[in-house]
Structure 1
Amino acid sequence: MYFHSYIDPLRAPVAKYSITINVSNRRLTLFQNGKVFKSYPIAVGKPSTPTPRGTFRIINKAFNPGGPFGARWLGLSRKGYGIHGTNNPASIGKAVSNGCIRLHNPNIIELYNLVPVGTSVRIV
């Protein structure tokens, strides 16, 4: 007898993502199934408007929000804060934002395409 192996796409394993943001190192690290998958340089909040520390979740996503938010927006469960692109790429690596986390537009597009709403975001 011949048995054909079949993988049901509805039961296929789904990658689980989480994000850790290190404010002092100005890096966002994306974990896939608990292992480092990608790392990106970021901009963070300036001293007068610091990036909040803690554990949050991505609660919404926006495609091409425009202006200072660049190509994509990932809203956090902390009201008014998010991870987004930028119309000022020279700001990456600096503490210059109003508390949000900025990435280069190609990086936020990649991240946006990978992580679903509900992804855990830990900011340290």
Structure 2
Amino acid sequence: MSERRILIDVPTQTLTLSAGTRVLARYPVSTGRNGVGERNGSGCTPRGLHRVRARIGEGCAPGTVFRGRRPTGEICDAALRAAHPGRDWITTRILWLTGCEPGRNRGGEVDTLRRYIYIHGTPSSEPLGEPRSHGCIRMHDAALIALFDQTPVGTPVEIRG
């Protein structure tokens, strides 16, 4: 089987999983509210070639809430969202990205890994298809579980903006 690849297209707010020339799945996403960019602290989604550095949350229940890449013991539901209306929810699974292009998205002030850029879950109440994140790539939980189950460490991820 051909190596799996992920393409995130910022203008269309989509993520495509492929193997060779075959599209396996396409999902709506939400990228950085501040647009694209690589600088630390920008709140932008970094462009270029990345790889999945770590897979976090395998086996956790859908809606599991993460802080600092660790489950908090909470499950995101309507009551929890109402109690914390401004919270940036990271739920269910995390695919932590690392940049592959020194000076563009790796090293110094542009390091994707040190910026904690993930593909992560978000509650189904959160809209997708429009930039709303703090730089990460958000997906609804069910779609993220499907992607996570097909995405080993080292999977190439290209972010086009």
Query: Counterparts of 1:1-124 in structure 2 under 5 Å?
Result: 14-47=1-34, 49-63=43-57, 64=60, 66-67=65-66, 68-77=89-98, 78-79=112-113, 80-87=116-123, 89-124=125-160
Tell me how far apart the structure 1 counterparts of residues 46 and 121 of structure 2 sit (CA, whole Å): 18
Tell me how far apart the structure 2 counterparts of residues 34 and 59 of structure 1 sit (CA, whole Å): 24
Tell me how far apart the structure 2 counterparts of residues 25 and 15 of structure 1 sit (CA, whole Å): 25
Tell me what 1:10 maps to.
none
- Could you tell me the TM-score, scaled by structure 2's length? 0.64
State which structure, 1 or 2, has the greater radius of gyration over its C-alpha atoms.
1
- Could you tell me the TM-score, scaled by structure 1's length? 0.82
Shift of 1:37: 1.2
Secondary structure of 2:129 counterpart: coil
Structure with more relative contact order (C-alpha pairs < 8 Å, separation 6 or more)? 2
How many correspondences in the alignment?
A: 111
Q: Which amino acid aligns with 1:29?
A: T
Contact 2:124 2:141 in 1 (8 A): no
Aligned-pair Cα RMSD in Å: 1.6
Tell me how far apart the structure 2 counterparts of residues 100 and 32 of structure 1 sit (CA, whole Å): 23
Structure 1 portions without partners, runs of 5+:
1-13
Tell me how far apart the structure 2 counterparts of residues 41 and 118 of structure 1 sit (CA, whole Å): 22
Contact 1:17 1:34 in 2 (8 A): no
Partner deviation per Cα, 1:62-87 (whole Å, 9 max, x = no partner)? 11461511111000002210101113
Shift of 1:93: 1.4
Tell me how far apart the structure 2 counterparts of residues 86 and 76 of structure 1 sit (CA, whole Å): 17
Where does structure 1 differ by over 3 angstroms across 4 or more consecutive aligned residues? none
Which stretch of structure 1 is more off in the superposition, 18-27 or 67-76? 67-76
Secondary structure of 2:45 counterpart: coil
Contact 1:72 1:112 in 2 (8 A): yes
Q: Percent identity?
A: 34
